[in-house]
Amino acid sequence: MEHTSSGAVKQKHASMVRFELLMECELRTET
């Protein structure tokens, strides 16, 4: 159980980081 939950959290965190990086890139290209 722990492995599945931790894996899901890791996936969620990874997607969040990816989204943040995407936003940062968009902001950088705008300026």
pLDDT tens column, 1-31: 566 688 889 999 999 999 999 999 888 887 6
Give residue 1's pLDDT: 54
What residue ranges in the chain does DSSP mark as E strands? none
Give residue 6's pLDDT: 87
| CA distance linking residue 10 with residue 8, whole number of Å | 5
Query: What is the reported pTM?
Result: 0.55
Give residue 15's pLDDT: 94
